[in-house]
Amino acid sequence: MLASLLAVSLMMHAPDSTAQARFGSVTGAVESNSALYLDDPVLGPAQSRFGSNNYLKLDWQRDSLSAGLQAEWYPRALAGYPSELSGAGLTGLYLDWRCGLVQLHAGSFFEQLGSGILLRSWEDRELGMNNGITGAYAAFHTRGNGMRAKVFGGFPKFGVWPTLQTAVAGADLSLDLLSATGSGNALLLEGSFTDKIARSTEDGVAFLAQSSGFTVPAHVPGVSARVQYSSAAFSVKAECVWKGDDYYVEQLPKAREQYRLKGGNAQIIEASAAVGPFSGTLTARRLENMSSRIFHTTGSPSVANTLNYLPSLCMQQTYMLAGLNPYETYADGEAGLQGDLYWTFRRGTVLGGRYGMKLHVGGSWIMALPCALPDRDAGYLAYRDINIDLERRWNRNFRTVFFVSIQENSPTHGNRKATNAQNVFVLDGQYRFSSATSLRLELQYLYSEELTRDWMAALAELSFAPHWSITVSDMYNHGSTGVHYYNVGASYSLSSLNISLLAGRSREGMVCSGGVCRWQPAFAGGVLRVQWSF
């Protein structure tokens, strides 16, 4: 089977133009993530022995017409994924027609308005997240894209069910006032409107009505207004979002809470610029009650999915220990600043040396809004970090990265003054033995006096381009638990096929993205991942 897949994958480079013109072209992808869970002397017995998440996506296109589908199959979902990911189903199906300046689309689609704080539907398989909308949209743009407009409506999905009962409708308009000038600059004026339409038959709506007499509003309108000026070296963008009265869980002192109606709003200003070897960004964001929840329709009064995107206003960490305790946006209310500065030391300069050097300094500072906290007179630090990485290539074969991350995170989202601090230091070196063989080594240390205290980690990766790589890593919590989290992995790539196998012990933790989090339980065993597109 594998040999056939490889053969076919290679054959795709010999297209038959006549057949393609007549029948159209078909593309697609298969992805399978399967895990075998084992009992472990430290973690205890495995909760289940097996988990497997599988995806198939197919698209057909002929001239201006295209169609496609996505199917998902969960004989038993991977550990930590939502229990609704069970069985098999057709989770996407669409037909799309484009003719000149007009596009009509029926079926499933993904949409983002502005930064996504008002509305974003997207798929993230790492999270088990897919809030794609099933419905229809019509889009129009003028020649040169001076004006673009779109109207849409539909039902977001969750799990392998076709849709939830909550509906969403919206419209978006974008004007580029400089499009007629022919310059490379853009001055965009944009606006969006949405309406989230809940039904009284939804489980969560019915539950709130019965248990506390609270009526979830049938319509929650939302508006986003945006302005952006961009040139090749500079851009500044501002967005204001307003959300009508929505279901809100108000946090009260002494761990009490109450349901009430509350509107939401958000403001974002982003700027970025480049001057010579420098480039940088600065973002300021304030948001208040910007969760946009969708309830379950079968069997649970809890929130099933979300309709917008609330990413953390801080750097997405990539080193193991730096990402140990990620910060997640406090959607009830926070305000923050984030900035990054990149400095490229050119080749041949005193500091750049023969091969150049790169320096990045970034940081973020986020405060909770007192109005969103149980103690109304609070409003302490929610999160801050400073990240510095210095990358230098010493000769044709050897390069290093030195990385420091100083992080401070409030476990109460700023309701109390106490925070957890951690300092992470990483040395990442790569040596190239030949044009195809290289070794990368990471040494990491986390110093902290809170939570699980000190950690150390190491990773070695041996690569044989263009097909193979082998990885060995260990994360060791020597400050508290004394547990090793070790892994051995290998991956193979050929054309659009990628197969990876990872075995060992993995730590529990939150996997978060855009206001959506998934609890990943600790496990021991092996994970096989196969991806192939054609």
Interface positions, 310-349, toward another protein (CB under 8 A): 311-312, 315-318, 340, 342, 344
Instruction: Write down the least CB distance from residue 265 to another protein, Å.
Output: 17
Contact call for residue 165 and another protein (CB under 8 A) = no
Under the binding rule (CB under 8 A), the answer on residue 267 touching another protein is no
Among 50, 52, 93, 122, binds another protein (CB under 8 A): 122
Q: Does 518 bind another protein (CB under 8 A)?
A: no
Question: Among 34, 163, 185, 423, which residue interacts with another protein (rule: CB under 8 A)?
Answer: 185
Rounded distance between C-alpha atoms, residue 314 and residue 394, angstroms: 30
Distance CA(514)–CA(414), nearest Å, equals 20
Candidates 2-10, 199-207, 251-259, 448-456; binding stretch for another protein (CB under 8 A): 2-10
Cβ closer to another protein: 139 or 261?
A: 139
Q: Does 148 bind another protein (CB under 8 A)?
A: yes
CA distances from 103 to 63, 135, 191 (A): 13, 14, 20
d(CA 215, CA 332): 20
Site for another protein contains 57 (CB under 8 A): yes
What span, in angstroms and rounded, lies between the C-alpha atoms of 445 and 268?
Answer: 35
The rounded distance, in Å, linking the Cα atoms of 192 and 322 is: 37
354 binds another protein (CB under 8 A): no
Hunting for tokens 């205890």 — which residue is that?
A: 44
Structure tokens of 49?
Answer: 């022995």
* Residue at token pair 């974002």: 268
Task: State in angstroms the smallest separation of the CB of 350 from another protein.
Answer: 18
Among 181, 348, 464, 508, binds another protein (CB under 8 A): 464
Comparing CB distances to another protein, the nearer of 223 and 273 is 273
Site residue total, another protein (CB under 8 A)? 101
According to the binding rule CB under 8 A, does residue 423 interact with another protein?
no
**Per-residue x/- mask for another protein, residues 273 to 312, rule CB under 8 A?**
xx--x-xxx-x-------------------------x-xx
The helix (run of H) or strand (run of E) holding residue 205 is: helix 203-212
**Residue 6 DSSP one-character state:** H
Which residues, numbered 17-56, are part of the site for another protein (CB under 8 A)? 17, 19-20, 23-31, 54, 56
Residue 22: in which H helix or E strand, if any? helix 17-23
- Closest approach, Cβ 29 to another protein, in A, equals 3
Per-residue burial over 475-492, b if 16 or more Cβ lie within 10 Å, else e, is: bbbebeeebebbbebebe
416 is an interface residue for another protein by CB under 8 A: no
> Which residues in the 375-414 window bind another protein by CB under 8 A?
none
Query: Is 58 exposed, middle or buried, given 0-12, 13-18 or 19+ CB atoms closer than 10 A?
Result: middle
Q: Would you say 446 or 497 has its CB closer to another protein?
A: 497
The span of 10-18, 256-264, 299-307, 449-457 binding another protein (CB under 8 A) equals: 10-18
Nearer to another protein, 9 or 452 (CB): 9
How far is residue 162 from each of residues 89, 112, 135, 170, 266, measured CA to CA in Å? Answer: 8, 20, 11, 20, 31
Q: Which is nearer to another protein, 148 or 416 (CB)?
A: 148
Q: Are strands 278-288 and 256-275 parallel, antiparallel or unpaired?
A: antiparallel
Specify the DSSP element, H or E, that contains 31.
strand 25-38
Q: Where are the alpha helices (DSSP H) in 266-323?
A: none
- Give min distance, CB of 528 to another protein, in A: 15
Which residues between 63 and 102 bind another protein (CB under 8 A)?
Answer: 64, 66, 71, 73, 87-88, 98
* Binding span for another protein by CB under 8 A among 149-157, 199-207, 258-266, 495-503: 495-503
Among 111, 288, 334, 385, binds another protein (CB under 8 A): 111
Amino acid at 227: V
Of the candidates 463, 473, 477, 520, which one interacts with another protein according to CB under 8 A?
463
What is the length of the chain?
534
Question: Which two structure tokens, joined as six digits, stand for 123?
Answer: 């798929």
Binder among 40, 270, 375, 474 for another protein (CB under 8 A): 270
Closest to another protein by CB, 134 vs 438, is 438
Query: Among residues 181 and 298, whose Cβ is nearest to another protein?
Result: 181
Q: Are 497 and 531 in contact (CB under 8 A)?
A: yes
Q: Which two tokens stand for residue 311?
A: 């990413």
Q: Which stretch binds another protein (CB under 8 A): 163-171, 207-215, 464-472, 475-483?
A: 464-472
Single residue of 469, 471, 501, 503 touching another protein by CB under 8 A: 469
188 binds another protein (CB under 8 A): yes
Q: Which residues contact 23 (CB under 8 A, 6 or more apart)?
A: 62
Out of 290, 368, 497, 524, name the contact with another protein by CB under 8 A. 497
Shortest spacing between CB 313 and another protein, in angstroms = 8
Q: Please, which residue, 281 or 412, has the CB nearer to another protein?
A: 281
Residues 201-260, interacting with another protein (CB under 8 A): 228, 230-233, 235
Query: Between β-strands 123-124 and 129-130, what pairing exists: parallel, antiparallel or unpaired?
Result: antiparallel
**Cα torsion through 410, 411, 415, 421, rounded to 10:** -30
Q: Residue 331 and residue 518: Cα distance in Å, rounded? A: 16
Of 35, 37, 80, 115, the one binding another protein (CB under 8 A) is: 115
**352 touching another protein, by CB under 8 A:** no
State yes or no: cis peptide before 466, omega within 30 of 0.
yes
Asked whether 95 and 104 are in contact (CB, 8 A), the reply is no
Contact 28, 59 (CB under 8 A): yes
Q: Is position 506 an interface residue for another protein (rule: CB under 8 A)?
A: no
* Element housing 11 (H / E): helix 2-11
